[in-house]
Structure 1
Amino acid sequence: MCGAGWPIATCLEKRRSNCGLIMSEISLALWRDIMTHLRQQHTSLCRQWFEQLQPVDMNAGLLTIQTNNAVQQNYLQKRCVRQFTEAAQLATGALVTVEFVDGVAIPSTNKPNVAPNNQVNASNHHIASQPASISNGQKQIDWLEDQLVLSPDYSFDQFVTGPENELAYSAAVAVANHLGSTYNPLFIHGGVGLGKTHLLQAICQTVLSSNPGLPICYLSCGTFVNQFLDSIQLGQMNEFRRHYRQVHLLVIDDIHFLANRERTQEEFFHTFNELKQLNRQIVLSSDSPPSEIPKLAERLVSRFQSGMVATVAKPQFETRVAIVRAKARLRDLELPDDAVSYIATKIDTNARELEGALTTIQGHATIHQKSFDLTLTRQVLGDPTDQDQTRQVTLQQVIDAVTKSYNVRLSDLQSKRRHKSITLPRQVCMWLARRRTRFSLQEIGGYFGGRDHTTVMHAIQTVDQRVKDDTNFAKQVNKLDSLLSNNRSTDDPR
């Protein structure tokens, strides 16, 4: 039903023969139907800032939706078109498509503003001066498509600070406001899901907000490596170097993937030097500090350490409570304090798993039409007072236990080193991860240095066989397994 009390089909018919006022009413009615569908069928997708979106035109089967800024527009266009189109088609009963535009929409063209070739389109945060394709019959390197998509969720306003991340947060804010002159480079390191990517994206968003035309580049280290190799193969190194050496802000996530890649390290070394000489800002993230990245050239280690090196650590209870509340507000969820505290107590690893818990509980609440309260939270996450229910073990807990027991570092486990002192704890990690977590063989192998599932299978078989043959080894591994299953502090089990 539309806002006037008519079925949607009737409203659409009236739209064809009436003017402005009816059009406004129909748009509002359609929008309510679309948003209702999204909340019911795509609960985890919806955000509080969706309320700021405005439908501005419906013409020739194209629904144009206006966003508040370029970051929202690019995020929605890249990640949410399918869900919005599905909702629009159900609301109208027609083959409607959806597009998002930034700022003042132009209904006559239904196209967002496009930057000239010598400028940067902020909605894609890329260098537009380089062609996205090269029409010479060769394989084309799409410089633009491979950049990471900025999420409106990852702003400084949404970042929860605590003693575990205060330095990294303050440094990131300073860098965003004073590119090239404060903490250059900025190197942020820490475990999985602790906020490194959030800070990197917050820097990008702050810079784009104040300087929409500034050339910036935000990508994963894996993309940098792949584009470098493709450029060599296709004879396009001049384009590669122009692409990366004219930016004012270069942000690379997971720079530790440069490990063991000598040619890529050489190229990045020269890119780093040229940007630094021009006072262009460089921001990097890694799972370990520069000195612990295996087989990273000393001259790169030295340069990475020449600016600010800041760590992010596991959040304490108070910080976890604040994270849960912040994530709930972002999803427009009202949570009682006891449910918030329960989630923060139950999930003690990182922000990503806290958000995953919220998504899971929210999904149960929507599907079963229940209130998001402590009772439902206990049902979904499990009750620690129930002795028959084993608490789910996280991959980080497995890693913490093994690295402490064998006195090795995570970077060692993820490296290509084959020495027995590294290979054995890596195999034990894989064995415990498969036994105590829900990760697949492929996911486990990917985390430990990009190894395939057959390597994980071999590791499991090796540990199983050694448990049978070596009594002392069996005791050590079984004690680790017992500590994890009981979710107790992982004291050295040797």
Structure 2
Amino acid sequence: MSLSAGNAQQTSSQDLSGKDQEVHMAIWGSVCDKFCREFGQNAYDTWVSHLIFSSFEGGVVSLAAPTRFVRDYIQSHYATRLNDFFKADLVGMHELVIRLDSSLQSKHREEQAESKADAQSGDSAVVTSANFEGSALDQRYTFDSFVVGKSNELAYAAAKRIAESDEIAFNPLFIHGGVGLGKTHLMHAIAHEIRRKAPQKKVVYVSAEKFMLEFIAALRFKDTHAFKQKFRNVDILMVDDVQFIANKDSTQEEFFHTFNALVDNRCQLIITADRSPTELEGIEERIVSRLGWGLVADIHPTDYELRLGILQSKAEANDKVIVPQDVLEFLAKRITSNVRHLEGALTRVMAFAELVGRPITMEMTRNVLQDLIRANDRKVTIDEIQRTVADYFSIRLSELLSDRRARNIARPRQFAMYLCKQLTNRSLPEIGRKFGGRDHTTVMHAVRKVEELKEQDSQIEDDIGRLMRQLEG
């Protein structure tokens, strides 16, 4: 994901010029990157994407908003964090001001009108929200640009099947995984492919947040009929981040009836969340049950090979700067949290090199990404792994470290040894000593055993994935 380039252009040329403009463009892009990582793509698209960087004078950063509503909402919900992001990158900055710029209102209205026109046009297979921006498709998110690896191959194959087949093989398709692992990318890719292959089909892609906001607006203006027509008179409905409607009783009621109506009419549903249906908290049991009716596909955290492949693909698509292989390998090893952070890191390095006109080196990369590298350097300890595994399997820590060979104790012990090997820099003898003085060959056996079990049993692979996410998070 590259926010830097796109948002750096949203800068008032009358206030900035020359080198200052380039610097502020880069800083604004960095702030947008940080905002998106913390609050998500939907929040960025809905609110911050409409801001314009106006000026930086006397320690005051000035942003312009197109409407009073956008300005007031950002001031009450996001201004504090935006201020923190600017202070981290901009020396001497001490205040953030968001002002209303009436000259931007016409552009804002044009964007809304275009969004509404696209939604009503028969030429477009994707219906975007008429009242809230943020449901438009990203042209970069296609199947061709999605790098497939072991951690995401099931979700990718299922998405391709839906996009290319006229038959409904599973309904719904439920894709779950952590932030920035590619769930939204796959949904956009499905919509792009359907628009190309079957433009007559009516497809709605919307975030769960926007589904809720539009439902609230429909209730407020007594127009629930139009709301139902929009979301039930479709061929395919895609709802992103369904966990957002947790504890929203009225929205869940409407979502439940929308779900049933679409299934009864043999319309395809594709839903994403940050966890599996059974782990969703605050979601009614009847909805949880229906979410598991079709195919549930998990996107696991990326491994080193997949991260390197993603970086190589992104670097090859950029013809302005050359990224050395050792820099790509360094990023693949050090930025392990999610794909969004990984791509954002490479984007920052390439943007910096282009702006200052210097070749990319390892030293430059380390300097540009100091904050991100520090954030990904959180050390996981053997003690922490042991406690986490014991809690996960509901056994006592003393049992995990004991000589007991009962299956319900030995298997978690092997899991813990495997995780110690994967997540720490400790040697096998050191790991063995931390498990009651065991020999390093015992640790080797445990690692090999878990790797074999992961290949044979998807439940074990799922358990390992959850433990890794818990420890790395």
Q: Give structure 1 stretches of 5+ with no counterpart.
A: 1-37, 47-74, 84-98, 100-111, 128-141, 384-388, 410-488
Answer yes or no: is the 8 Å Cα contact 1:146–1:219 preserved in 2: no
RMSD: 4.2
Task: Look up the SS of the partner of 2:271 in the other structure.
Answer: strand
Report the CA distance shift for 1:327/1:404 in structure 2 as closer, same or farther (over 3 A). farther
Among residues 311, 316, 319, which one is paired with 2:303 in the alignment?
Answer: 316
> Which residue is equivalent to 2:98?
none
C-alpha displacement at 1:173, in angstroms?
A: 0.5
Report the CA distance shift for 1:241/1:390 in structure 2 as closer, same or farther (over 3 A). closer
- 2:195 matched to 1:208? yes
Normalised by the length of structure 2, the TM-score is 0.55
Among residues 346, 359, 365, which one is paired with 2:353 in the alignment?
Answer: 365
> Which residue is equivalent to 1:156?
143
Report the CA distance shift for 1:372/1:284 in structure 2 as closer, same or farther (over 3 A). same
- 2:368 matched to 1:380? yes
Report the CA distance shift for 1:328/1:237 in structure 2 as closer, same or farther (over 3 A). same
Task: Look up the SS of the partner of 1:311 in the other structure.
Answer: strand
Instruction: From the CA coordinates, give the structure whose radius of gyration is larger.
Output: 1
Among residues 207, 222, 236, which one is paired with 1:249 in the alignment?
Answer: 236
Answer yes or no: is the 8 Å Cα contact 2:304–2:333 preserved in 1: yes
C-alpha displacement at 1:44, in angstroms?
A: 11
Among residues 103, 122, 125, which one is paired with 2:124 in the alignment?
Answer: 122
C-alpha displacement at 1:178, in angstroms?
A: 2.1
Task: Look up the SS of the partner of 1:360 in the other structure.
Answer: helix
* Between structures 1 and 2, the one with greater helix share: 2
Report the CA distance shift for 1:390/1:283 in structure 2 as closer, same or farther (over 3 A). closer
Report the CA distance shift for 1:164/1:117 in structure 2 as closer, same or farther (over 3 A). closer
Task: Look up the SS of the partner of 2:375 in the other structure.
Answer: coil
Q: Give structure 2 stretches of 5+ with no counterpart.
A: 1-20, 30-44, 54-106, 108-113, 394-467
> Which residue is equivalent to 1:348?
336
Structure 2 distance, partners of 1:210, 1:358, is 33
Q: Which amino acid aligns with 2:328?
A: V
C-alpha displacement at 1:205, in angstroms?
A: 0.7
Task: Look up the SS of the partner of 1:214 in the other structure.
Answer: coil
Answer yes or no: is the 8 Å Cα contact 2:234–2:267 preserved in 1: yes
Q: Which amino acid aligns with 2:122?
A: V
Structure 2 distance, partners of 1:204, 1:324, is 24
Task: Look up the SS of the partner of 1:391 in the other structure.
Answer: helix
> Which residue is equivalent to 1:391?
374
Answer yes or no: is the 8 Å Cα contact 2:180–2:340 preserved in 1: yes
Report the CA distance shift for 1:235/1:310 in structure 2 as closer, same or farther (over 3 A). same
Structure 2 distance, partners of 1:336, 1:277, is 54
Deviations 1:403-460 (A, max 9, x none): 9389589xxxxxxxxxxxxxxxxxxxxxxxxxxxxxxxxxxxxxxxxxxxxxxxxxxx
Report the CA distance shift for 1:328/1:242 in structure 2 as closer, same or farther (over 3 A). same
The count of residues paired between Structure 1 and Structure 2 equals 301
Answer yes or no: is the 8 Å Cα contact 2:127–2:202 preserved in 1: yes
C-alpha displacement at 1:382, in angstroms?
A: 5.2
Structure 1 distance, partners of 2:52, 2:339, is 27
Deviations 1:156-177 (A, max 9, x none): 0000111111101000100111
Report the CA distance shift for 1:401/1:285 in structure 2 as closer, same or farther (over 3 A). farther
Structure 1 distance, partners of 2:353, 2:118, is 47
**1:408-419 matched pairs, under 5 angstroms:** none
Structure 2 distance, partners of 1:288, 1:402, is 23
Answer yes or no: is the 8 Å Cα contact 1:126–1:147 preserved in 2: no
Structure 1 distance, partners of 2:373, 2:118, is 58
Answer yes or no: is the 8 Å Cα contact 1:119–1:215 preserved in 2: no
Task: Look up the SS of the partner of 2:204 in the other structure.
Answer: strand
**1:23-422 matched pairs, under 5 angstroms:** 119-122=121-124, 125-126=126-127, 143=130, 145-146=132-133, 148-178=135-165, 181-332=168-319, 333-381=321-369, 391-393=374-376, 404=388, 407=391
Task: Look up the SS of the partner of 1:156 in the other structure.
Answer: coil
Structure 2 distance, partners of 1:293, 1:259, is 8
Deviations 1:205-263 (A, max 9, x none): 11111122321111110011111112112111111111100011111110011211222
C-alpha displacement at 1:200, in angstroms?
A: 0.8
Answer yes or no: is the 8 Å Cα contact 2:301–2:469 preserved in 1: no
Q: Which amino acid aligns with 2:388?
A: K
Answer yes or no: is the 8 Å Cα contact 2:175–2:297 preserved in 1: yes
